[in-house]
Structure 1
Amino acid sequence: MSGGTHGDRGLDSPRSFLEYASSRAEERAKNAKLGRVQAYLSAIAPIGAARVRVRAAHLIQELPEDAPPEDAVALAQARVGEFWEAAFGTSDTGDLAARRAIARKPDAFLDRDPQALSEMRRLYESFSVEADLVPQPMAPSRLRALVGILPSWLLGAAAATLLFSITSGPILHRIPWSVLLGILLALHSNATTLALLGVFGRVRRAQEKERADGSSAKEPLSLPDTAIVIPIYHEDPKRVFSSVGAMRDALERTPHAESFTFYVLSDTQDPFVAADEERAWRRLAAVPRSVIPVYYRRRPSNTGKKAGNIAEFAVRNEQRFRYMIVLDADSLIGPGTILELVKRIDSNSRLALLQAPNDLRGGETIYARALQFGHALAGGILLRGLSRWSGGNGNYFGHNAVIRLSAFVRSCGLPKLAGAPPLGGPILSHDFVEAALLCRSGHEVRFAHDLGESYEEPPPSLEDYLTRDRRWCQGNLQHLRLVTAEGLTTLSRIHLLYGALAYLASPLWFAFLILGALSPFVGVTIDDPRLALALTLGAFGLLLFPRVIATLHAIFTRRKEFGGLLRLLSSVGIEFLVSVLLAPIMMFAQSQFVFEILSGRTVSWGTQSRDGSGSSNLFDPRLMIIFFSGIVSGVLLMWSSELLALLLAPIWIPWVLAPLLSRLLTHQGLSRAFRRLGLLRVGTETAPPPIIQSAERLRDYFHPDETSRFRDIVLDPALNARRRQDLEASSPRELTSEERALIEKLEERVLSRGPAALSSEERALLLNDAQALARLHREGWKRWPVESWDLPRPMHAESRER
């Protein structure tokens, strides 16, 4: 064949064909080297794809043309190591502070210019120190009394006086018994006041015109730049990123999408969980044509816990964003609510924080669904009453709120309390204190009580609730030391005080019941049984009033939301029964919490269980303590007085039943039956809003993959280094020669055939050996086809120089 297309190209001759094939092979080899080096540099430094291509091309030029891809990776590793030593004074390429410095000055990566290296060192040192807010002074003031809640306390005083007047006997017994009743009724009557305000209260016409929160009637053409931040710590990445994805997708369908940026701020220290987080983030961030960016930043240590995490972001991004919306790991907010929060705070220059409602959703167990139903029934009414009572001196629940960033940075540096924990040291519950500091600096804190589509998830079991409640108890009792701080508004002091009294009420009830049980034995008698009965009925009526008024409000205004009148009333009865059974258990547990804290036992914030299916341990130590206390109390009461044992049966019988109740309330079969019957149904189940449906659909998209987790821990410098540090810190035993031989055999197999060539048990062996992880990290980049994989890559959460 002498002509035609092939003849023109010269491929019909053996020599020409061999030359063409050889050139193609050289091109493929060059592309393989280039792709592998690009993959390695992308995992090391957050400098962008274009800069990675340029740096990789320069490195390839230093190699002979016939050099294999592994030599190219080895050269890249050497150059990166030299740069790391020159710029940061360390060989640890997994150092997160170094990555963040490179993200701020990406053009300086691998630059040997002394000025560039000096600037990188300066940035590295600044990121190596945790950014924090300036602590605000909270010295005690001369204020000796708090006012503004007189009606509740007058009612309590009247009840105490009545009890004292209708009894006779030892005065040293009657006085504390009467005083305790007065204090307890004063505390609980506050909920009745809020319920009345929530249902019947009216705001002034001017406030109604402004919707009581600073909202403007004019639709703005654009919104200020707003960061939506989600601080997480050892959370389920599937749950977190499905919610972020749903919120981003919904916001992108609005005209203000370009005003928002998502930041997932991780404090996770476990490299296995961090690997899943980063992989879920990569999947979310890689969505093409997305208008709203999603950034992921992980701190090397969780200094200051959640408050410190948010504080560092606020300090470093104050000039970039006007507002930040703080969410929790289980938060989910609809796009309309997000836009409305920003519009309202932007229309009122004095408003520093606007708190959205925290409606419960996603409960699957009977326990979670009972909490969810009770909150749906009365929560909105109470929040509306609280909003109308507190006005511009509202409170902060720690998430689902928009915050003016400049005011937060200048006002919300948390002080460190004198003394050691649990009542001293860092403030555990930061949200109430931050709201008080904002109000003290002249800003307003308000509730957006009328907004919807703002959700969080309930704890799935009683044990999970108690774990969380123990931390809240310690944090709220710390607030007692701040109640008299100088400059706080009266309502801020009341918020702090009542937060602590919510837990102190349990031991006060305990003491009141003990004094009542001892009354017959010390000679206290009731002089007027009719007045005593009236007082008892009045006290119970006061406790039940918020629930009754909320039920009536639901019957007349939104019974369809709960599945109709019959299901609503049935659910109210079930929720009331669950509350009655759990109230004595919570009284015992919270009294125990207070005693532990006062005796010096401390806890810290940890991972929260958010698994909707829930689980309950029949032999949970806390519940077993309550169980045995119930047994002992019942026996002693029956021995002393059968009548007294009968009267106090609503207290000690639930204690005996505590483990069984906890198990029944998380029983999956019973929970499914309740759902099928429509019991404890709420509006998000009757007609789920689009944002919830979208989040549920995305759950499986972020399902963790064990093989990919292994690959990421091997290749990612930060995850690999952290895992090796954890292993070395645990002082592992020395491997035998047979075990070391097995490890080396597995190393060779996984390097030659890839992570999928090992079983779960074999991958676990390698992940538990620091020496193997070091070798796999070094050789994996050289021998695996990393250029074709979706690999870990660092991402910054700071603004770059512009």
Structure 2
Amino acid sequence: MTDSAKASHERRWTIVVALRRLVLTSLVVIQTVFAAVLLKNLLPYRGDDGLEIAIIVVFAILFCWISIGFWLGVFGFLLRLRGGDPHSLMGSSTEGQRSQAAFAKTAVLMPIYNEPVDRSLGGLAAVYKSIESTGALEYFDFYILSDSRDPEVWLAEQAAWYDLTQSLNAGGKLFYRRRPLNQNYKSGNVADFFRRWGKNYRYAVVLDADSLMAGETLTKMVQLMQLNPRVGILQTAPSLINARSVFARAQQFANRLYGPIFTSGLAGLQLGEAVFWGHNAIIRVDAFMQHCGLKKLRGFGLFKGPITSHDFVEAAYMGRAGYEVWLEPELTHSYEESPPSLVDELTRDKRWAKGNLQHIWIMLGARRLKLAHRLAFLNGIMSYVTSPIWFSFLVLTTIAAARLYLLPIDYFPDAYSPYPLWPRWEPDQAVWLLALIAGLLFAPKLLALLDAILQGEVKRFGGLRSAFKSVLGEIILSVLLAPVRMLSHTRSVIEGLFNLKLSWAGQNRSDELRWRDAIVHQAPGSLLAIAWAAFAYWLDTAFFWWSLPVAIPLILAAPTSVLSSQVRLGGILHRHGFFHTPEEADREELERILPKVTPSKLRPVRGGRFVQAVIDPEINHVHRLLGHHHRGGIKATVLATLRRRCLLHGAGAMTRSEVTSLLQDRESMLWLHEQVWRSSPDSAWSPYLVHRSDARGTLSASQ
């Protein structure tokens, strides 16, 4: 594409996106005003006192949020109906132009933190093999960037990395680094890579520990970046795969069926001013290094210290520097995984909620940010703040009902009016308003099903009958989970605003939820719901029935969480036609694109990974190559004391921090290796040694 053609495309999409946003804003405002007026006419005092005004304002905010989601889905459906968005980045070039674009050196980064080693490194190996099949492997290098703190975990990572390097013949292509200090979370890990090796690469692809991307997709992304030098970040829309529990299967189905229309709608309303989701995306390294450094916030409380949710901020900074950020729904074969249970999702959301709340400071205080990116911050903030707003709405309506039934009626709420106002609480008529809200929530899901039919994909969802009952099943589950999410997000927002410290650990990606954990997490909400429903029943029967759609899911939260986390039940539902997805139907095709590769040295090791790193000559040598060297001073003296105690009393006598200190020192690991093999038969290390006469002795593995 010539420079003039690129400039013309940019002018065209900026005009188009402005018109689209104007239309969306108009539709949302008109719809919200209509609903607010409808609610006003249903309230006892017709919105003529402070309490009812507060109810209307809170309702309008919630309705506006729902309305935006509805019109995004409708807009995405219309774009897909016409065959795609002609103003997208993919639409700016032809397949022939992309195929002619030269490749450039690209790093594939996988930051990990106490993750399941076989899953994360096996996924990266699958990406490696997929790129290799495209013939473009020479342009890609792969980096495992570990922040793991548990020695057993990062020793397993190293062993798996070494095994994969050998089995893939990836010497000089597949690298491993573990940071001694994991400052600033994932963004700090990636920044550490750029400081060390960023100058060697034009592009970097960032993956999560559960990410998978096809080689064809990655090479196409590089070609798009080559053709569009003003693009700083190109984001794919990952699909969910590998779900097994009921919860994960429902999430996977919803993502795969509803995702295309919502993603298309979002991309169409952002175009070159999209956001970065932190993974399954490609970034222009020099621009990122120059413009996307994250300084610590200088505010107070929550707004002081490192930025925990970095991706939206980096996209905003890239846009501020004059680069475009694109979300491309047509870049397929990009995948990630869903948390296996509701509790795991809500635990993850605690970090996300706090990170998004931090964006308030940046949204209001950062200079020269584009309006689109400030609105993206607002969108992320509202995705969590709507929960306490919904909770406030329930509290306000409960107070209004209690006032009507328990307090003397105020016939003259307007002190200057000579005419009385006869209060009238009409919960029956509120059903029509609820029906309107339900339509906005669920109509896009039916549009998504219609889209699958029109696109000829419904067979890949198990057929029309299977897809339709899966939509109904997902709606039922989402209705049961929505109040639980609301209460949990409300708590997360409050904790975030008070800047309570959160733990940062690897995510559970496969374990089922235990009853004890579910009860601990959900009991407070269930007790609150029981008390609220009982109070509503005592007040008035009609108000009680109005409260049940929220109260019942909260009361049943623990059993819902446990049952929805079960793999066996997920399999039963799947066999009965629920929650089928195209990737499951085309499993052979998926495995062809992303061949399954599993590191072979991840079996349990007798004595643990530290014992293996001390005894096994090969593993010890590899580990020392990755360690540090301390030349002298107090640190060296302390290490000498630690390794002598370790030799005398064995690995079990060492604390985790002591083991870490030894592992990070090359001299200590070499000394321990040599001394252990020279130790007496009755030493603490003797049970782990075999073939003592063999200078290359090995570590026995448990069967």
Aligned counterparts, 1:188-203, within 5 A: 188-201=66-79
Residues 205, 596 of structure 1: alpha-carbon distance in 2 compared, 3 angstrom cutoff = closer
Partner of 2:29: 153
Q: Output one character per residue of 1:83-120: Cα deviation in whole Å (capped at 9) or x when no partner.
A: xxxxxxxxxxxxxxxxxxxxxxxxxxxxxxxxxxxxxx
Q: Which moved more, 1:159-168 or 1:491-500?
A: 159-168
Residues 718, 639 of structure 1: alpha-carbon distance in 2 compared, 3 angstrom cutoff = farther
- The secondary structure found in structure 1 opposite 2:90 is coil
User: Which of 561, 581, 592 in structure 2 is aligned with 1:662?
Assistant: 561
Please report how far the alpha carbon of residue 705 of structure 1 lies from its aligned counterpart in structure 2 after TM superposition: 3.2
Residues 427, 150 of structure 1: alpha-carbon distance in 2 compared, 3 angstrom cutoff = farther
User: Which of 524, 541, 553 in structure 2 is aligned with 1:642?
Assistant: 541
Q: Output one character per residue of 1:745-791: Cα deviation in whole Å (capped at 9) or x when no partner.
A: 875xxxxxxxxxxxxxxx64577796999788624225648974799
Mapped pair 1:171 → 2:171: no
Q: Output one character per residue of 1:6-35: Cα deviation in whole Å (capped at 9) or x when no partner.
A: xxxxxxxxxxxxxxxxxxxxxxxxxxxxxx
Q: Output one character per residue of 1:462-495: Cα deviation in whole Å (capped at 9) or x when no partner.
A: 1110110111111111112222332111111111
Partner of 1:711: 611
Q: Output one character per residue of 1:420-475: Cα deviation in whole Å (capped at 9) or x when no partner.
A: 44343211111011111111110000011112110111001111101101111111
Partner of 1:281: 161
- The secondary structure found in structure 2 opposite 1:344 is helix
Mapped pair 1:553 → 2:433: no
- The secondary structure found in structure 1 opposite 2:175 is strand
Mapped pair 1:185 → 2:66: no
- The secondary structure found in structure 2 opposite 1:452 is coil
Matching residue's letter, 1:211: M
- The secondary structure found in structure 2 opposite 1:157 is helix
Partner of 2:120: 240
Residues 771, 590 of structure 1: alpha-carbon distance in 2 compared, 3 angstrom cutoff = closer
Output the CA distance in 1 between the equivalents of 2:203 and 2:466: 42
Please report how far the alpha carbon of residue 181 of structure 1 lies from its aligned counterpart in structure 2 after TM superposition: 1.5
Q: Output one character per residue of 1:648-699: Cα deviation in whole Å (capped at 9) or x when no partner.
A: 1111111111111111111233122123223111111111254547867433
Matching residue's letter, 2:50: L
Mapped pair 1:585 → 2:500: no
The count of corresponding residues between Structure 1 and Structure 2 is 616
Larger radius of gyration: 1
Partner of 1:492: 373
Residues 617, 399 of structure 1: alpha-carbon distance in 2 compared, 3 angstrom cutoff = farther
Matching residue's letter, 1:451: L
Mapped pair 1:358 → 2:238: yes
**Could you list the runs of 5+ residues in structure 1 that have no partner in the other structure?**
1-145, 723-727, 729-739, 748-762, 792-802
- The secondary structure found in structure 2 opposite 1:318 is helix
Please report how far the alpha carbon of residue 497 of structure 1 lies from its aligned counterpart in structure 2 after TM superposition: 0.3
Output the CA distance in 1 between the equivalents of 2:347 and 2:67: 28
User: Which of 520, 530, 544 in structure 2 is aligned with 1:621?
Assistant: 520
- The secondary structure found in structure 2 opposite 1:253 is helix
Output the CA distance in 1 between the equivalents of 2:88 and 2:477: 41
Partner of 2:151: 271
Output the CA distance in 1 between the equivalents of 2:531 and 2:340: 29
Aligned counterparts, 1:39-78, within 5 A: none
Q: Which moved more, 1:781-790 or 1:479-488?
A: 781-790
Output the CA distance in 2 between the equivalents of 1:655 and 1:241: 38
Output the CA distance in 2 between the equivalents of 1:745 and 1:239: 36
Task: Confirm or deny: 8 A CA contact 1:440 1:488 kept in the other structure.
Answer: yes
Mapped pair 1:605 → 2:504: yes
Mapped pair 1:309 → 2:167: no
Partner of 2:685: none
User: Which of 184, 207, 221 in structure 2 is aligned with 1:327?
Assistant: 207
Mapped pair 1:563 → 2:462: yes
Partner of 2:494: 595
Aligned counterparts, 1:125-524, within 5 A: 149-169=25-45, 171-201=49-79, 207=86, 211-212=90-91, 217-218=96-97, 219-220=99-100, 222-287=102-167, 289-290=169-170, 293-484=173-364, 485-523=366-404
Q: Output one character per residue of 1:151-171: Cα deviation in whole Å (capped at 9) or x when no partner.
A: 323422332233224544251
Partner of 1:15: none
- The secondary structure found in structure 1 opposite 2:233 is strand
Q: Output one character per residue of 1:606-649: Cα deviation in whole Å (capped at 9) or x when no partner.
A: 22112265656455432121122122223322333333222211
- The secondary structure found in structure 1 opposite 2:611 is helix
Q: Which moved more, 1:415-424 or 1:260-269?
A: 415-424
Output the CA distance in 2 between the equivalents of 1:268 and 1:405: 25
Please report how far the alpha carbon of residue 309 of structure 1 lies from its aligned counterpart in structure 2 after TM superposition: 0.7
Residues 564, 593 of structure 1: alpha-carbon distance in 2 compared, 3 angstrom cutoff = same
- C-alpha root-mean-square deviation of aligned residues, in Å? 3.4
Task: Confirm or deny: 8 A CA contact 1:365 1:667 kept in the other structure.
Answer: yes
- The secondary structure found in structure 1 opposite 2:376 is helix
Matching residue's letter, 1:585: V
Partner of 1:674: 573
TM value normalised by structure 2: 0.80
- The secondary structure found in structure 2 opposite 1:699 is coil
Matching residue's letter, 1:312: D
- The secondary structure found in structure 1 opposite 2:96 is coil
Output the CA distance in 2 between the equivalents of 1:234 and 1:185: 40
Task: Confirm or deny: 8 A CA contact 2:164 2:170 kept in the other structure.
Answer: no
Matching residue's letter, 1:462: L
Please report how far the alpha carbon of residue 382 of structure 1 lies from its aligned counterpart in structure 2 after TM superposition: 0.7
Aligned-residue sequence identity (percent) comes to 31
Task: Confirm or deny: 8 A CA contact 1:476 1:500 kept in the other structure.
Answer: yes
Output the CA distance in 2 between the equivalents of 1:624 and 1:527: 32
User: Which of 698, 701, 705 in structure 1 is aligned with 2:600?
Assistant: 701
Matching residue's letter, 2:96: A
Matching residue's letter, 2:344: D
Task: Confirm or deny: 8 A CA contact 1:258 1:291 kept in the other structure.
Answer: no
Q: Which moved more, 1:335-344 or 1:172-181?
A: 172-181
Output the CA distance in 1 between the equivalents of 2:540 and 2:84: 60
Please report how far the alpha carbon of residue 299 of structure 1 lies from its aligned counterpart in structure 2 after TM superposition: 0.7
Please report how far the alpha carbon of residue 391 of structure 1 lies from its aligned counterpart in structure 2 after TM superposition: 0.9
Q: Output one character per residue of 1:194-253: Cα deviation in whole Å (capped at 9) or x when no partner.
A: 112211138999946963366663223641000000011111111111111111112112
Matching residue's letter, 1:270: D
Please report how far the alpha carbon of residue 562 of structure 1 lies from its aligned counterpart in structure 2 after TM superposition: 0.9
Output the CA distance in 2 between the equivalents of 1:790 and 1:256: 38
Please report how far the alpha carbon of residue 308 of structure 1 lies from its aligned counterpart in structure 2 after TM superposition: 0.6
Q: Which moved more, 1:603-612 or 1:672-681?
A: 603-612
Task: Confirm or deny: 8 A CA contact 2:301 2:498 kept in the other structure.
Answer: no
Output the CA distance in 1 between the equivalents of 2:460 and 2:85: 31
Residues 235, 552 of structure 1: alpha-carbon distance in 2 compared, 3 angstrom cutoff = same
Output the CA distance in 2 between the equivalents of 1:662 and 1:380: 27
Output the CA distance in 1 between the equivalents of 2:53 and 2:357: 26
- The secondary structure found in structure 2 opposite 1:149 is helix
Q: Which moved more, 1:261-270 or 1:521-530?
A: 521-530
Task: Confirm or deny: 8 A CA contact 1:363 1:612 kept in the other structure.
Answer: no
Please report how far the alpha carbon of residue 525 of structure 1 lies from its aligned counterpart in structure 2 after TM superposition: 4.3
Output the CA distance in 2 between the equivalents of 1:453 and 1:773: 42
